């Protein structure tokens, strides 16, 4: 089998996040052809796209005005996540900074229907909380009007059909949110979702008449279901039950009454397009003819006849498709390049389940390389972050690179992962944290029984919270691992919570436990306090500007762990929580590959 170096794989492109222009003739989207995502536009399927922004920093979203030939987009600096909002005129190339507060975060909340205003939330008044702002399309900086002072993590869910109100969502954790409606004329905030305990209220959307708010929630079920909230009566009605699978979100086009909702089926996305023919009735449209994978980022055309959708699959890169809603026919509009690597060399996974210590079956994706000699195949156990996230069958250039080098890939969705219902998501809360690490031990036991796997060559790798899981696996079960790779991981929950961004602390304490009430427990499970148990070689990578897991986590871990095992450290001065710049990704994964070659196996030489 011909192999390619990591630089070739990391030059595989992704196109995503599409938005229709006001005349319906163009799409804006993000693509990372230059190494970081930038704004591009295209006017027909497969046509040559035009690059519209030319920054060294990543663009995080792009949204076309509903009335004018202009695009709003967001961009941070050096991975610091303090995104600023900009307005781009694609036809002239003029770009204007709309927010001009570089020390604050800005979270896009959408255009008004007339295109005259936009909404956002920001922590510019107080670093620890987010307020709601409305700003004229041609305003800048302090021109923004503060319309609501918040006291937590707020996001805006869009303007009402008559532009008089905003949906405001507040998050307490990934499994607990509230939804309110803000009247822009009076400033009155009406709370729609009072509840006790943890309840998810997600993806809130205005109904076409402005009299209802639709959202997905688990208020009366274990899995997320689609409900309607009637503003006059305050009553909830279930529109579509989730059943065994989560309904992840909904998007509604007000003028056409067309909508789409998504169902998460073992990580794969099932999209349902339809029309709201009555408040609680959806007449389904033909099933869209899209690849089987992970889909999202839906944008309706101005006439509601088409929808742009981003689709990715384990063996195919992310691209934007446009669906003709009347027929379900779909056509790919973007052609994200694969760096000359044949698409048929990308390997899809097998969905498996393995038993764990308490009798549960844990879902996972297992991918074997093309050649898997019996008893000789090394395995990378790649653990997702979050922790309330989910490993899904989307494309990963890093994964395909290691598969081409003869590594198998095992991606578990341990207890606490999203996508499998409320009860499963709470199985790792606070004092049950280490049960999820025990699920990793069970994964390795399952791998030991697989005929292709070399049980002496199993690697733990993960980023962010997944980095904590790597470190915990290496300290709790030190004899299982040939090596560990920790990327922007948490080493000490106490110092992490003390030093993380003020706006994140309350969210994280809801999941991990609080400094006030659970400090002793947090100390006990922090890998830094058990570092003497590490035996496997460890590679620690981090970004100097990380606002979520401060770089101090990496430094203190490396200093302590070097007394007990071989440890390497790599810090990027111009990165934050992860590696967004192409040259840094190449450096990071080249060194990871060399590290694994040295301590796990010798990989075949890469082709030029």
Whether 442 is in a domain gets the answer yes
Contact by Cβ (8 Å): 484, 474: yes
Examine the domain organization and report whether 461 and 318 are in the same domain.
no
Q: Residue 442: pLDDT above 70?
A: yes
| CA distance linking residue 400 with residue 574, whole number of Å | 26
Whether 63 is in a domain gets the answer no
Q: Kindly give, in sequence order, each residue whose CB lies less than 8 Å from that of residue 110, ignoring residues fewer than 6 positions away.
A: 63, 118, 119, 156, 157, 158, 159
Examine the domain organization and report whether 158 and 99 are in the same domain.
yes
The count of other CB atoms within 10 Å of the CB of residue 339 is 14
C-alpha distances in angstroms, 211 versus 207, 214, 509? 7, 10, 36
Examine the domain organization and report whether 290 and 370 are in the same domain.
no
Lowest mean pLDDT among 337-341, 344-348, 420-424, 504-508: 504-508
Q: How much is the average pLDDT of 38-52? A: 95
Examine the domain organization and report whether 298 and 170 are in the same domain.
yes
Q: Which of 332, 362, 387 is the last residue of a domain?
A: 332
C-alpha distances in angstroms, 274 versus 257, 258, 307, 479? 9, 6, 12, 53
| CA distance linking residue 240 with residue 221, whole number of Å | 12
Examine the domain organization and report whether 432 and 562 are in the same domain.
yes
Contact by Cβ (8 Å): 491, 528: yes
**Which residues is 191 bridged to in the sheet?**
180
Whether 231 is in a domain gets the answer yes
C-alpha distances in angstroms, 49 versus 32, 37, 65, 71, 599? 13, 14, 19, 16, 44
Range of the domain at 254: 76-82+91-332
Examine the domain organization and report whether 128 and 263 are in the same domain.
yes
The count of other CB atoms within 10 Å of the CB of residue 576 is 25
CATH code of 386's domain? 3.40.50.1820
Q: How much is the average pLDDT of 335-351? A: 95
Q: How much is the average pLDDT of 370-381? A: 93
Joined tokens for residue 335: 């052609």
Whether 2 is in a domain gets the answer no
**Which residues is 458 bridged to in the sheet?**
379
Examine the domain organization and report whether 289 and 156 are in the same domain.
yes
Q: Which pLDDT score is estimated for 193?
A: 98
Lowest mean pLDDT among 190-194, 316-320, 560-564, 598-602: 598-602
DSSP letter for 576, please.
Answer: B
- Pairing between β-strand 567-572 and β-strand 538-543 as defined by DSSP bridges: parallel
Q: Which pLDDT score is estimated for 502?
A: 66
Examine the domain organization and report whether 328 and 419 are in the same domain.
no
What mean pLDDT value characterizes the chain? 93
From 280, 438, 295, select the one nearest 354 (Cα to Cα).
Answer: 438
Whether 69 is in a domain gets the answer no
Examine the domain organization and report whether 140 and 226 are in the same domain.
yes
Q: Residue 605: pLDDT above 70?
A: no
Structural domain total, the chain: 2
Q: How much is the average pLDDT of 315-320? A: 95
CATH code of 319's domain? 2.120.10.30
Per DSSP, the three-state class of 147 is strand
Whether 293 is in a domain gets the answer yes
Q: Which of 332, 358, 387 is the last residue of a domain?
A: 332
Q: Kindly give, in sequence order, each residue whose CB lies less than 8 Å from that of residue 598, ignoring residues fewer than 6 positions away.
A: 537
For the stretch 503-534, what's the b/e string if a residue is b when 16 or more beta carbons lie within 10 angstroms of its beta carbon? bbbbbbbbbbbeeeebeeebeebbbbbbbeeb
From 515, 441, 500, select the one nearest 465 (Cα to Cα).
Answer: 500
Q: Which of 304, 332, 360 is the last residue of a domain?
A: 332
| CA distance linking residue 80 with residue 300, whole number of Å | 32
**Tens of pLDDT along 182-201?**
999 999 999 999 999 999 99
The residue behind tokens 């997320």 is 224
Q: Residue 50: pLDDT above 90?
A: yes
Query: What count of residues does the chain have?
Result: 608
**Tens of pLDDT along 273-284?**
999 999 999 999
Whether 21 is in a domain gets the answer no
601 or 534, higher pLDDT: 534
Q: Which pLDDT score is estimated for 604?
A: 44
Examine the domain organization and report whether 230 and 326 are in the same domain.
yes
Q: Residue 603: pLDDT above 70?
A: no
Whether 297 is in a domain gets the answer yes
**Tens of pLDDT along 234-248?**
999 999 998 899 999
Q: How much is the average pLDDT of 251-268? A: 97
Q: Residue 501: pLDDT above 80?
A: no
Examine the domain organization and report whether 301 and 427 are in the same domain.
no
Examine the domain organization and report whether 509 and 401 are in the same domain.
yes
The pTM assigned to this predicted structure is 0.92
């Amino acid at each position: 089998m011909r192999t390619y170096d990591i630089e070739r794989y990391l030059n595989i492109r992704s196109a995503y996040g599409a938005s229709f222009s006001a005349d319906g003739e163009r799409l804006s989207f993000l693509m990372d052809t230059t190494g970081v995502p930038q704004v591009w536009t295209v006017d027909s399927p497969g046509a040559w796209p035009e690059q519209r922004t030319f920054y060294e920093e990543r663009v995080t979203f792009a949204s076309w005005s509903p009335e004018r030939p202009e695009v709003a987009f967001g961009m941070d600096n050096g991975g610091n996540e303090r995104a600023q909002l900009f307005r781009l005129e694609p036809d002239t190339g003029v770009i204007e900074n709309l927010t001009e507060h570089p020390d604050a975060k800005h979270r896009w909340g959408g255009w008004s229907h007339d295109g005259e205003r936009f909404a956002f939330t920001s922590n510019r008044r107080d670093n620890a909380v987010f307020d709601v702002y409305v700003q004229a399309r041609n305003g800048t900086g302090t021109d923004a009007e503060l319309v609501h002072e918040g006291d937590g993590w707020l996001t805006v869910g869009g303007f009402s059909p008559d532009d008089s109100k905003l949906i405001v969502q507040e998050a307490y954790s990934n499994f607990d949110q509230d939804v309110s409606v803000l009247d822009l004329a009076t400033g009155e905030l009406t709370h729609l979702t009072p509840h006790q305990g943890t309840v998810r209220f997600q993806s809130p959307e205005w109904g076409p008449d402005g009299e209802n708010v639709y959202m997905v929630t688990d208020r009366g079920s274990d899995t997320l279901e689609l409900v309607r909230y009637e503003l006059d009566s305050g009553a909830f009605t279930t529109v579509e039950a989730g059943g065994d699978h989560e309904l992840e979100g909904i998007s509604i086009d007000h003028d056409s009454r067309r909508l789409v909702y998504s169902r998460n089926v073992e990580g794969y996305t099932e999209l349902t397009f339809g029309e709201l023919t009555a408040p609680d009735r959806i007449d389904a449209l033909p099933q869209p003819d899209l690849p089987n994978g992970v889909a999202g980022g839906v944008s309706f055309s101005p006439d509601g006849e088409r929808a742009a959708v981003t689709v990715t699959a384990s063996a195919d890169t992310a691209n934007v498709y446009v669906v003709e809603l009347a027929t379900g026919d779909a056509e790919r509009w973007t052609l994200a390049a694969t760096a000359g690597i044949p698409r048929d060399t990308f390997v899809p996974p097998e969905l498996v389940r393995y038993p764990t210590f308490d009798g549960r079956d844990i879902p996972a994706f297992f991918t074997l390389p093309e050649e898997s000699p019996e008893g000789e195949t090394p395995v990378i156990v790649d653990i997702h972050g979050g922790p309330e996230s989910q490993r899904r069958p989307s494309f990963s250039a890093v994964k395909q690179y290691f598969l081409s080098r003869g590594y198998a890939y095992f991606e578990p969705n341990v207890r606490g992962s999203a996508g499998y219902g409320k009860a499963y998501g709470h199985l790792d809360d606070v004092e049950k944290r280490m049960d999820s690490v025990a699920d990793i031990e069970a994964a390795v036991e399952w791998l030991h029984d697989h005929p292709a796997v070399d049980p002496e060559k199993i690697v733990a790798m993960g980023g962010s919270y997944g980095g904590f899981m790597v470190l915990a696996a290496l300290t709790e079960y030190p004899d299982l691992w040939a090596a560990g790779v920790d990327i922007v991981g948490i080493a000490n929950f106490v110092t992490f919570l003390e030093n993380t961004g003020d706006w994140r602390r309350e969210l994280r304490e809801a999941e991990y436990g609080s400094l006030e009430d659970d400090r002793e427990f947090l100390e006990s499970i922090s890998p830094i306090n058990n570092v003497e148990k590490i035996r496997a070689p460890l590679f620690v990578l981090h970004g100097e500007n990380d606002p979520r897991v401060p770089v101090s986590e990496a430094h203190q871990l490396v200093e302590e762990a070097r007394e007990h095992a071989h440890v390497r450290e790599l810090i990027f001065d111009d990165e934050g929580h992860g590696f967004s710049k192409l040259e840094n990704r190449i450096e990071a994964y080249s060194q990871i590959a060399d590290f694994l070659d040295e301590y796990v196996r010798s990989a075949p030489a890469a082709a030029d």
